[in-house]
A and B are shown apart, each in its own frame.
Chain A
Amino acid sequence: MQAARDAGQLVILLDEILEVEFSFRDTTVPAAAIAAMEPRLQDYVITWIKRVASTNIELAYQYACHVERALGLMDVETVESWALSAMDAYDREGLRPARQIILGLDEFVRLTREQADGCLLSNQQGILLGFLNGLAGRRLRIQESTQAYTDSETLFLPSLLARLATPERNFQLYKVTIAMLWAQTRFGTLRTLLEAGFLDAEDSGRRLALFHSLDTLRLEAIIARELPGLHRELVTIKQDLGEDRLPAPWDALRWSVSAEGCTAWDVVERVRSLSNDTEPLPVFAHQGILDLPAVAACVAARVSREKTLFKVRMEQLKDELGVQEHWSRDREPRLTKRLHEASELPEGAGVDILIDGKPLPLPDDMQDLVSSILMDLGDIPDEYLEPAGPGDYDPKFFQDSSSETEDVWSGVYHEKGALLYQEWDFRRQHYRKNWCAAREQSVEPVDNGFVVRTLEKYQGLVKQLRKTFEALRDENRRLKRQPQGDDVDLDALVEALADTRDGREMSERLFTRQHRTERNIAVMFMVDMSGSTKGWINDAERESLVLLCEALETLGDRYAIFGFSSITRKRCEIYHIKRFEEAYTDDVKGRISGIQPKDYTRMGFAIRHLSRMLSELDARTRILITLSDGKPDDYDEYRGSYGIEDTRRALIEARREGIHPYCITIDQQARDYLPHLYGPAAYTVIDEVRLLPLKVSDIYRRLTT
């Protein structure tokens, strides 16, 4: 093991890493602190100073100055996450906030402690959302916010809860809070508040607080009936936080709202009858706040949206039924409604829709819609059942407004509408989060006769390819001499009988069986569209694709083709040429003809994007084939080892997803780096560009048999 470095050696080392020559930085203090450490710890600290220095020198200097104290306060892992979060902050917002994190060491320690005992919403959101969806009623969403409340469609929850001692207990607090907010939407709290006019009343502040206190007690009683297990949890939490004892008048009030069948309207009545000196209860930890304006806005928007949706869907249903029932065109069927008992619903009754007096079976989405309307209005108003006029249809209610990729680009330089991908920084030995902004665009189809020319040029080859690939197609065939099967194999039987006459043992393989196989292969071609492909490489690429498509169409494998190019991490582009589900149409041919050299070769994001697409596909074998002409390279720092290491990392991620990456390149230097990226056997270097079209199909054939 290496001996400990002394302070003098460390000063020289740090001066070099931190480039102090032209700055005012003084390394003697950190060097002295590090000199006092054990040799192994010294190595560790110096490695990390180098890693941070790869992001920013000043940050690394601050890190060096504070790392000794940090190691005294936190364990090694937390010190690492301290440095990483500073580097993430640097990536996101620049030096100042990053430096703040390093300098604000004590704040970081406090937050970490809190996070260690607390429960982070982002870690548990999936589970909590599943829990919330399982509770009946309208589909609700979960979103981070500073306080807990709901607008009747989204539950807003604080990003961290740390009021209880352990993460598990704090998770339970989230659960109880969610159940409480859910109960507000489900058991009439919000609807009643709006109808009772709390929004406009002058003294609403105090009355609202009183209502909230009392209604919370009512909802707790409902939770006790509906979710007994959760209520036990609620009781323990209240005990832990000292919230279990109520001041005198409230104990009696609690009983008055706990009976089954007590509604939010009863609570409103009680609040009216309360004397003026009754003080609201202190807010419980699980109670959240009531944000009435938010609720009012959300409900208003939803009611009008759902009214339209209901009418339009009803018309569609009528049309569907009309075809079956042969209604005459001139007479519209009449819609009516009927209430029916439903003990499982909080309203105590559900609504059936009748069409000419006969119950209309509603599809699932309609049933959800009806129950959502019932939650808002308590009924299906009669006007909902009147036929929809022509003006009622407004398509904006049915689709999300998403901005076009191109719109985002016209003159704007930010990350709106882009997919963000992480990138591996080998110096930091860690990912840079949301680093690449990737966008998908289509190649503009060009009809210049390129495909026809190519097919003519390679006439002989195309014929040969078709033949070879046809032979590959593993079709159904009759297998002979099987131990089991549909039919007797006469040849085998005659032989077997002859054998028995001879005194030999009779074979058991006497049947024929229909054999059926399918090539369950999906292949993604990732085509380099960087500027360096300009000229004959681009021609060769396009020709290869044309021939490949011919071959694959014969074979019947599923395939997709995408191009990629980039100019800095903010403009990473994926060019759509052919999707898996798309047929090999003239449009696709036009897009292949239209492939043009663009900018640089950032490979990591393209591999990540395309392998994500590939892994969503249900196929036994998934292959990602890259056609390229050089090593990964981009206008910013994405070159040399950085680019190669990120590409390698992206390929490792793809392999972990069960994808087989393969690379076909014409870069003569590729033998130096491709084995490192793709492994020793998963690449081919083609010596002459003009051979590319001839080789690609052949390589594909070898790869998949």
Chain B
Amino acid sequence: MHPDIPQLDNYLVKAEPFYQAIGDEITIFEASYQKGLPVLLKGPTGCGKTRFMEYMAWRLRRPLITVSCHDDLTASDLVGRYLVKGGETTWIDGPLAQAVRGGGICYLDEVVEARKDTMVVIHPLADDRRVLPIEKLGTLIQADEGFGLAVSYNPGYQSVLKDLKQSTRQRFVALEFGYPSPELETAIVIKESGLEPAIAELLVRFAGMTRNLKGSGLEEGASTRLLVHAAKLIVSGVAPVSACRSAIAQALTDDAEMLASINELSSSLF
């Protein structure tokens, strides 16, 4: 192997992550990956986007490099930069460049959070050119065959600033993630936490109630992830109403009145 090409073995997903398919997302992702098409995952927080990526990386046996984007993330954070070591400058590849060279899957989580200039870097990678220009080195890296690009984005944010530009979104195959159906969600909660089915079912019904409140006081309803948190607390002996309060209600909102409403809903169920 070429010495410049980094070893990405650390990024391999060793054990199979639990993932319950909701629709045909696995087939679509696989097909896109084989054809070298980038994928856009849409959906509210905590509905399994990141877990899906882990599962797909495991299934395709490719290393997965995840970058959580934040509003100070710059293009050089992705591509790489010079560092000074013992009086000399050395170039260090960023996560994106590593994945491009080594044939891994690069997953940019919450991509809208990143600065606008970051997007431009992924554009040539996201169309049929599949190249990553590194301005500072003056080179162009052709992506390895195994390289795949996936980004996630939560369309629920109301802010205009947090929207993807058309020029960006029209390069991707889009997969929409929603909350799973009640039966499926119950199964997920049971599998992840070992909670007994009767309580898991009530917990899922409670999640549905908080989702009804979206738009009338809550920005988002409870995600599957929060349900799993609450379920784990219940399994370790916390009373369901307290578990819902700490793991779900308090996580959803700080508004005292809304909290009281949510607590009333959970105490109506358990």
CA A514 to CA B216, docked complex, whole Å: 40
**B260 contacts chain A at the CB level, 8 A cutoff:** yes
Q: Is the interface of B mostly helix, strand, loop or mixed?
A: helix
Q: Is the CB of A134 within 8 A of B210?
A: yes
Q: Are A227 and B268 in contact (CB under 8 A)?
A: yes
**Is B8 part of the contact surface with A, judged by Cβ < 8 Å?**
no
Task: Report yes or no: B87 in contact with A228, Cβ–Cβ below 8 A.
Answer: no
Report how far A179 CA is from B213 CA in the complex, Å: 16
Please state if A134 and B262 are interface contacts (CB–CB under 8 Å). Answer: yes
* Minimum C-beta distance from B178 to chain A (A): 10
Q: In the complex, what distance in Å separates the CA atom of A310 from the CA atom of B213? A: 23
Could you tell me the distance between the alpha carbons of A506 and B260 in the complex, rounded to whole angstroms? Answer: 58
Determine the chain A residues whose CB is within 8 A of the CB of B208 once the complex forms: 136, 344
Q: Identify which of A485-493, A559-567, A568-576, A690-698 touches chain B.
A: A485-493
Q: Any chain B CB within 8 A of the CB of A333?
A: no
Interface centre among A226, A229, A506, by most chain B C-beta atoms within 10 angstroms, is A229
- For B18, list chain A residues within 8 Å (CB): none
Which chain B residue shows the least CB distance to A129? Answer: B261
The answer to whether A229 and B260 touch across the interface, beta carbons within 8 angstroms, is: no
Q: Within 8 Å CB of B266, what residues of A?
A: 229
Chain A residues lying within 8 Å of B270, measured Cβ to Cβ, are 228-229
What are the residues of chain A within 8 A of B84 when measuring CB–CB? 488, 493, 496, 510
Interface centre among B205, B241, B268, B270 (most CB of A within 10 A): B268
Residues of B within 8 A of A127 (CB): 257, 260-261, 264
Q: Does A235 contact B (CB under 8 A)?
A: no
Does B212 make an interface contact (CB < 8 A)? yes
Pair A130/B260 contact, Cβ less than 8 Å: yes
**Is A130 touching B82 in the complex (CB atoms < 8 A)?**
no
A487 and B136 within 8 A (CB) = yes
* Most-contacted residue by chain B among A129, A133, A134 (CB, 10 A): A134
B269 interfacial by beta-carbon distance below 8 Å:
yes
Are B212 and A229 interface neighbours, CB within 8 A?
no
- Residues of A contacting B261 in the complex (Cβ-Cβ under 8 angstroms): 126-131, 133-134
Is B81's CB within 8 Å of the partner chain A?
yes
B142 / chain A contacts, CB cutoff of 8 Å: none
Please indicate the chain A residues that have their CB under 8 angstroms from the CB of B183 in the complex.
343
Determine if A135 and B264 form an interchain contact, defined as CB atoms under 8 angstroms apart.
no
Closest residue of chain A to B204, judged by CB? A344
Given A228-B269, A228-B270, check contact A130 B262 (CB 8 Å).
yes
The proximity string for A residues 313-328 relative to B, scoring 1 for CB distances below 8 Å and 0 otherwise, is 0000000000000000
Are B264 and A175 in contact, CB atoms less than 8 angstroms apart?
A: yes
CB atoms of B268 and A229 under 8 A apart: yes
Interface: B182 (CB within 8 A): yes
Chain A contact residues: over half helix, strand or loop, or mixed? Answer: helix
A704 within 8 A of B: no
Against B, the Cβ 8 Å flags (1 = close, 0 = not) of A481-501 are: 000001110000100110010
B74 and chain A: residue at smallest CB distance: A486
User: Once the chains bind, are A229 and B76 in contact (CB under 8 Å)?
Assistant: no
- CB contact list, A502-516 vs B, under 8 A: 506, 510, 514
Given A228-B269, A228-B270, A486-B74, A133 contacting B213 (CB threshold 8 A) = yes
In Å, the complex CA distance between A422 and B217 comes to 26
| A136-B209 contact in complex given A131-B264, A179-B268, A228-B269, C-beta closer than 8 Å | yes
* Interface presence of A29 (CB below 8 A): no
Task: Check if A130 sits within 8 Å of B267, measured CB to CB.
Answer: no
User: B213 contacts A500, CB within 8 Å?
Assistant: no
A230 on the B face (CB < 8 A): yes
Instruction: Mark out the residues of chain B between 250 and 270 whose CB falls within 8 Å of any chain A CB in the assembled complex.
Output: 257-258, 260-262, 264-270
**Residue pair B212, A135 in contact (C-beta under 8 Å):** yes
Task: Tally B residues with Cβ within 8 Å of A.
Answer: 33
Among B82, B182, B257, B258, which residue has its beta carbon within 8 angstroms of that of A344?
B182
Query: Is B167 at the interface (CB under 8 A from chain A)?
Result: no
Residues of B within 8 A of A128 (CB): 261, 264
| Docked complex Cα distance between A29 and B113 (Å) | 75
| Most central of A227, A228, A343, A493 by chain B CB within 10 Å | A227
How distant is the Cα of A179 from the Cα of B75 in the complex, in angstroms?
A: 54
Report the tally of A-B residue pairs with Cβ distances under 8 A.
Answer: 84
List the B side residues contacting A343 at CB < 8 Å: 182-183
A-chain residues with CB within 8 Å of residue B265 when the two chains form the complex: 130-131, 134-135
| A135 contact set on B, CB distance < 8 A | 209, 212, 265
Residues of B within 8 A of A496 (CB): 84
Q: A344-B182, A486-B81 are in contact. Are A134 and B269 (CB under 8 A)?
A: no
B10 within 8 A of A: no
CB of B133 to closest CB in A, whole Å: 15
CB distance from B217 to the nearest CB of A (A): 6
Verify B257–A229 contact, CB threshold 8 A. no
Knowing A487-B136, A488-B84, A497-B87 touch, does A130 contact B268 (C-beta < 8 A)? no
With A135-B209, A344-B208, A487-B82 already in contact, the answer to whether A130 and B258 are too (CB < 8 A) is yes
* A175–B183 alpha-carbon span in the complex (Å): 28
Contact A133 B217 (CB under 8 A): yes
Could you tell me the distance between the alpha carbons of A344 and B201 in the complex, rounded to whole angstroms?
A: 11
Report the bound CA distance from A12 to B259 in whole Å: 56
**How far is A500 from B85 in the complex, measured between Cα atoms in Å?**
13
B76 A486 Cβ-Cβ under 8 A:
yes
CB–CB B76/A134 < 8 A: no
Q: Are B74 and A514 in contact (CB under 8 A)?
A: yes
A136 and B266 CA atoms in complex are apart in Å by 14
| A133/B257 contact (C-beta < 8 A), A175-B264, A487-B136 known | no
Known A228-B269, A486-B81; judge A130-B213 contact (CB<8 A): yes
- A contact residues around B89 at 8 Å (CB): 488, 493
User: Given the complex of chains A and B, what is the CA–CA distance between A343 and B267 in angstroms?
Assistant: 23
Whether A134 and B182, one on each chain, are in contact in the complex, defined by CB atoms closer than 8 angstroms, is no
Residues of A within 8 A of B209 (CB): 134-136
Rounded to whole Å, the gap between the CB of B115 and the closest CB of chain A is: 8
Q: How many angstroms from the CA of A343 to the CA of B82 in the assembled complex?
A: 59
User: In the docked arrangement, what's the CA distance between A486 and B208, Å?
Assistant: 46
- A130 is contacted by which of B74, B76, B257, B269 (Cβ under 8 Å)? B257
Instruction: Output the nearest chain B residue to A125 by Cβ-Cβ distance.
Output: B257
Please give the distance in Å from A338's CB to the nearest CB on chain B. 17
Within 8 A of A (CB), among B75-92: 75-76, 81-82, 84, 87, 89
Taking CB atoms, residues of chain B closer than 8 Å to A136 are: 208-209, 212
Complex Cα spacing A602 to B136, Å: 63
- CB distance A175 to B182 under 8 Å? no
Chain B 213-260 interface residues, beta-carbon cutoff 8 Å to A: 213, 216-217, 241, 257-258, 260
Q: How far is the CA of A126 from the CA of B217 in the complex (A)?
A: 10
Docked CA distance A506–B268 (Å): 66
CA distance A130 to B212 in the complex (A): 10
Q: Which residue of A lies closest to B206 (CB)?
A: A134
Chain A residue, CB-CB nearest to B209: A134
Task: Choose among B82, B205, B269 the residue that contacts A488 (Cβ–Cβ < 8 A).
Answer: B82
With contact pairs A131-B264, A133-B217, A134-B209 given, residues A487 and B81 touching in the complex (Cβ less than 8 Å): yes
Chain B residue contacts of A227, Cβ below 8 A:
268-269
Q: What CA separation (Å) do A488 and B241 show in the bound complex?
A: 55
- Chain A residues with Cβ under 8 A from B267's Cβ? 229-230
**B268 and A500 form a contact (CB under 8 A):** no
Chain A residue at smallest Cβ distance from B270? A229
Min distance, Cβ B137 to any Cβ of chain A, angstroms: 12
Interface 1/0 per residue, A186-230 and B, CB below 8 Å: 000000000000000000000000000000000000000011111
* CA gap between A139 and B214 in the complex, in Å: 12
How far is it, in angstroms, between the C-alpha of A486 and the C-alpha of B75 when the chains are bound?
9
Q: Do B269 and A133 touch across chains, with their CB atoms under 8 A apart?
A: no
Contacts of B213 in A (CB 8 A): 130, 133-134
Q: Knowing that A134-B209, A230-B268 touch, tell me 13 more A-B residue pairs with CB under 8 angstroms.
A: A126-B261, A127-B261, A129-B261, A130-B258, A133-B212, A135-B212, A135-B265, A175-B268, A227-B268, A227-B269, A228-B270, A230-B267, A486-B76
> Can you list 5 A-B contacts (CB < 8 A)?
A139-B216, A175-B264, A228-B270, A486-B75, A487-B136
Q: Contact residues of A with B, CB < 8 Å?
A: 126-131, 133-136, 139, 175, 179, 226-230, 233, 343-344, 486-488, 493, 496-497, 500, 506, 510, 514
